[in-house]
Amino acid sequence: MYTHANKLRIAVIPMLAALLLAGCSGPRKASPAVSQAFESVIPKPASAVPAGGIFELTSDAQIITDEANKAAAEYLAERLRPATGFALPVVVGDGSESVHAIVYTTSSDASLGNEGYELSVADKGVRISAAAPAGAFYGGQTLRQLLPAAIESGSVQTQPWEMATGTIRDLPQLAWRGSMLDVARHFFTIDEVKRYVDYLAYYKMNVLHLHLSDDQGWRIEIKSWPKLTEVGGKSEVGGGEGGFYTQEAYADLVAYAQRQHVMIIPEIDLPGHINAALASYPELYCIGKKPEIYTGTEVGFSTLCRKKDLTFKFVDDVVNELAALTPGPYIHLGGDEAAATPKDDYIAFVSKFHEIAKKHGKIMIGWEEIAQAAIDSNDVAQHWHSAEYASMAAAKGAQVIMSPSTRVYVDMQYDSTSKFGLHWAAYIEVDESYNWDPFTQVPGLDRSKILGVETPLWSETITNLDEAEYLLFPRLAGVAEIGWTPSDLRSWDNYKIRLAAHGPRMTAMGIDYYRSSRVPW
Ligand code: TNX
């Protein structure tokens, strides 16, 4: 009898057979692990649509690029070669006929901006397209995260290098996504700082602010004032030997960072936090604690002397040499915790620093206290503590960098058991450093005035990069996401799962991160 059920069977059986046959010869399906990588990108992309299949990077793969994206292609090849052991030649061409390749092309889509990219993974190959070199670079950084965690290993790993197919279209919400490293309280070598740059760039951060001077040490060679490093470069918190960067080593670091689209912001902390310079040149001193080498952790006891002309020659010479080492438009001149500087002097100093920065072609950045002075739209204030100063700076027209100490001071301990760190601002668990919005953190702050976010790592309690990593990871990844991903696309419940999936990536990079109990590792 020709029943309805039979009719169905007649139609369905050949369909199933056809599907099975296609399954044998056609595209393979993404396994849960491969799909998870696609879903776990940090910072979360603006849009990521999986297509359900697999692309496998094989030993015959080439990286094909147009001229404009050659640097990004070469950087990616260098990142993928150690773990895969593949040759991955970078070839200039249009790649339209290619299979098994990663192809870089230039996009005419201006809405991608400088840093946006499109990444499409198909079973036959991968395409990254961007309107500018930084975007192409970020497309490659995302690609690394789509591969298995072992891709970050420094030695050959034998395993299939599979990625889920799909399309990602991505760009950042904020222009300034940074971290500050305090190399003054404890010295960090150039190699350690380069590694720090790698970490920032991995999470698509684009600013490394180096705190190059403080009471305890002066870390950058200034040829016109050699004792700054001969004397001030040889101390640090706790009495260690300190260290400093020659201008040549510093220039090499700047170039290294530029390749990964990270801008280095040099900071000389003025007019307070200046004891190392005063101990090197006592003729700069007039009030405050008598300058001797200092290896403790108190703040607010040293100041430049407003009465001396030599003070302004000193600042001018330092800014002159630093500006020449700085291709970017910014120079940070401190301005925080100047408790030993009389208020009138402080206000006069900030105006003078602004002028000196301008004379050497730079925009001045200062910690939020500079809002007390006559700053304007050519200055940038870095918020760390006082909503009032942040608002005051914005009202005067300055741009504001958000570094709220209760959220993103990653020198704060996670909890009372943390092996490094301070807790004067707060204990900051991983969720607490993630769960805030740069646009609402300071109520009433005009959205257009917010340049971005920056997470400072002060180094009173840490002496080397391994110790720094414990405080930095995993909180750095969350701050990167706050800078990149619009708040309405972010949630802790979703983030913590992606972060857990990143545990093996951090491990493969050799990072001993803090295993917060709030993250389902
Ligand atoms: C405050 S925040 C400081 C630094 C310290 C830090 C320690 C700011 C602009 N200044 O001098 O190193 O606290 O957390």
Concatenated DSSP letters for 108-174? --GGGTTT-EEEEEETTEEEEEESSHHHHHHHHHHHHHHS-GGGG-SS---S-EEEEEEEEEE--S-
From 19-28, 194-203, 368-377, the region with the lowest mean pLDDT? 19-28
pLDDT band at 8 (very low <50, low <70, confident <90, very high): very low
Question: Residue 507 pLDDT more than 60?
Answer: yes
- Ligand 1 environment, Cβ below 6 A: 299, 336-337, 367, 384, 409, 411, 422, 458, 460
pLDDT (average), residues 154-164: 97
- Average of per-residue pLDDT across 174-200: 98
Q: What is the pLDDT of residue 95?
A: 84
Give the pLDDT of residue 114.
Answer: 98
- From the CA of 297, give the closest atom in ligand 1: 12
Angle at 200 between CA 197 and CA 201, to 5 degrees: 85
Q: How far is the CA of 213 from the centre of ligand 1 (A)?
A: 13
Residue 342 pLDDT more than 60? yes
> What pLDDT score was predicted for residue 98?
84
Q: Quick check: 181 and 214 in contact, CB under 8 A?
A: no
Contact criterion met (CB below 8 Å) for 423 and 415: no
Whether residue 387 is predicted with pLDDT greater than 70 in this model: the reply is yes
Pinpoint the alpha helices (H) of 360-473: 387-395, 405-408, 430-434, 465-472
Whole-angstrom distance, CA of residue 274 vs CA of residue 291: 9
Q: What does the chain come to in residues?
A: 521
337 is catalytic: yes
Q: How far is the CA of 179 from the centre of ligand 1 (A)?
A: 14
CA distance 238 to 62: 51
Contact (Cβ atoms closer than 8 angstroms) between residue 409 and residue 432: no
**pLDDT by residue (tens digit) across 302-333?**
999 999 999 999 999 999 999 999 999 999 99
Tell whether the model's pLDDT for residue 372 goes beyond 90: yes
Does residue 32 have a pLDDT over 50? yes
CA distance 3 to 9: 10
Considering only CA atoms, which residue is closest to atom 2 of ligand 1?
A: 384
pTM higher than 0.85, yes or no? yes
Domains of the chain plus CATH, in order, are 32-170 (3.30.379.10), 176-508 (3.20.20.80)
Distance of CA 216 to the CA centre of its chain: 26
What is the DSSP code (8-state) at residue 341?
Answer: S
Q: Which of 10-19, 206-215, 499-508 has the lowest mean pLDDT?
A: 10-19
Atom 7, ligand 1: residue with shortest CA distance? 458
- Number of the ligand 1 atom closest to the C-alpha atom of 299: 11
How many contiguous H segments (helices) and E segments (strands) does the chain have? 16, 17
pLDDT at residue 53 is higher than 80: yes
Write down the residue that tokens 């601002």 correspond to: 425
- Distance from the alpha carbon of residue 354 to the mean position of ligand 1, in angstroms: 22
Distance 507 CA to ligand 1 centre (A): 30
Judged against a pLDDT cut of 50, whether residue 12 lies above it is answered with no
Pocket test for ligand 1, best of 458, 459, 460, 462 (most atoms within 8 A of CB): 458
Q: Which of 39, 74, 192, 337 is catalytic?
A: 337
Q: What is the pLDDT of residues 425-462, one digit of tens each?
A: 999 999 999 999 999 999 999 999 999 999 999 999 99
Does the pLDDT value for residue 20 go beyond 50? no
Residue 445 neighbours by CB under 8 Å, 6+ apart: 387, 390, 391, 394, 400, 439
* Top mutation candidate among 214, 299, 365 for ligand 1, by most atoms within 8 Å of CB: 299
Q: Given a cut of 80, is residue 13 above it in pLDDT?
A: no
Residue 23 reports pLDDT greater than 70: no
Ligand 1: atom nearest CA of 409 is: 14
pLDDT of residue 26: 62
Q: What is the mean pLDDT of residues 419-424?
A: 98
Q: Ligand 1 centre from 192 Cα, in Å? A: 21
At 212 the pLDDT is: 98
Residue nearest to atom 4 of ligand 1 (CA): 458
CA of 384, closest atom in ligand 1: 2
- Is the pLDDT confidence value at 9 over 80? no
What is the share, in percent, of the chain residues with pLDDT greater than 90? 92
Supply the residue whose CA is at minimum distance from atom 10 of ligand 1. 336
What is the whole-number distance in angstroms between the Cα of residue 509 and the centre of ligand 1?
29
Query: Band of the pLDDT at 289, cuts 50, 70, 90?
Result: confident
Mean pLDDT of 346-361: 98
Closest approach atom of ligand 1 to CA 412: 14
